[in-house]
Structure formats: C-alpha cells, structure tokens
Amino acid sequence: MRETQQGAVCRWPGGSSNQSPLPDPAVDVAPLAESSVAEAVLAGGCFWCVEAVFLALQGVQEVTSGYAGGDAATASYRQVCSGTTGHAEAVRVRFDPATISFGALLKVFFGVAHDPTQRNRQGNDVGPQYRSAVFYLDESQRAVAEAYIRQLDDSGVFSAPIATTLEAYSGFYPAEEEHQNFAQRHPDAGYIRVVAVPKLDKLKRAFAPQLRS
C-alpha cells in the first residue's frame, strides 16, 4: 500500500508491455445514424491511469472511474480493494461513435491503457479487482471484443496470450469523488508520474491523430 493525501490506496506500478503496433480491428460496431452517445465499460487495473488515457481521445465525451462486476452494496474503494466483492476497477467511457468507434477504443485499451496478458493483476497489484475485462453492453460489443482478441492473439503482437475476460454488463457504480479525474488533478503525484505519464507519452506517439487538440 502507499499513502496519498486521500489515505491508503492500492499500489499498481505496472503497465502495458507490448512494443509492436496493434492492427486495427477487422470487426467493429457500426454507428447508428441517430445516436451521438455510446458507452463502453472497460477494466484494466487501477482506474486512475486508464481514465487518463481515454480522456485524451477525440470523440470521448466523459470518462468515469468506478466498479463493475459486483453488487451496489459492496461498491466502495476499500471493499473492492479486498478482492472479495467480485468487482473490477473499471472506467465507463461515453463517446461519440461517429468520431471514435468501439473498436478504436479497444485498440487503445489493449495497446496503451494496460497489459492485457496479465491475469488478475497489473504489475504488483494482484487480485480479481485488477483483472482485464470488457463489460459488454450488448451482443455487438461482445462480438467485436471477441473478434479483436482473437485477431491480436493470431497476430502474435503480444508475447503471451491475452487474458482479458468478456463479461456481460450488470451495472456500473461510480467511484468516490476523490478518485475522479485523479491524474489531471494530481499531475505531480509520484504514482501518476511513474505510471500514467509513460502511458500518455505512448498514447501521443502511437495515436497522435486521435488525440484532442
């Protein structure tokens, strides 16, 4: 555990380990003409840095840190950190599908936001609350995520099989206010400098055209 002004928090010094460019998804969700907002719920370890990555993308309207995969009664930071509640730390991404597709979000998720080859952990943080997961909201999201995982495994871009689970969405519970937009509010925090900044640097190198101006 480490300490910040918010108190004890879960430690996660690890990050995405792949070095090769990821292919674009061969299968994607077609945007509905009448829809200007869609949602994705993704889990990739500690939500502070995953949130920071998605907030930098064009077409992303809102990112909320929270908990998915468990019940409302135990959806609090200290309970989820126990690893016994069934939740994963996750982010809910609200986006304009005409600007950025679900498949494009997945490419960033697998390529920058975390290391999808680690099972029930990210770096030194171990437990199911740090699992890599796509909480699909409908069958089209499930199909796209399943196809992209297969595509990435077949491509050999990662040195180990992808461990990301596909889980049916059963609810999302926003985290406490102190955890929202943490990287932007605390840019000088050691954790953010060590974990978030390298991810954002990688995002700038690999996805420059997709970033907010």
pLDDT of residue 36: 83
- 13 has a pLDDT exceeding 60: no
Residues 115-141 have a mean pLDDT of: 94
Report the chain's mean pLDDT, rounded to a whole number: 89
Q: Predicted confidence band at 82 (pLDDT cuts at 50, 70, 90)? A: very high
- Contact between 22 and 152 under an 8 Å Cβ cutoff? The reply is yes
- Is pLDDT larger for residue 178 or for residue 9? 178
Q: For residue 1, what are its two tokens? A: 């555990």
Listed in sequence order, the residues at least 6 apart from 89 whose beta carbon sits closer than 8 Å to its beta carbon are 43, 45, 46, 47, 65, 66, 67, 80, 129, 130, 175
Instruction: Determine what percent of the chain is predicted with pLDDT higher than 90.
Output: 81
pLDDT tens column, 31-46? 776 768 999 999 999 9
49 has catalytic annotation = no
- Catalytic residue, from 10, 46, 49, 81: name it: 46
pLDDT tens column, 163-209? 999 999 999 999 999 999 999 999 999 889 998 999 999 999 999 99
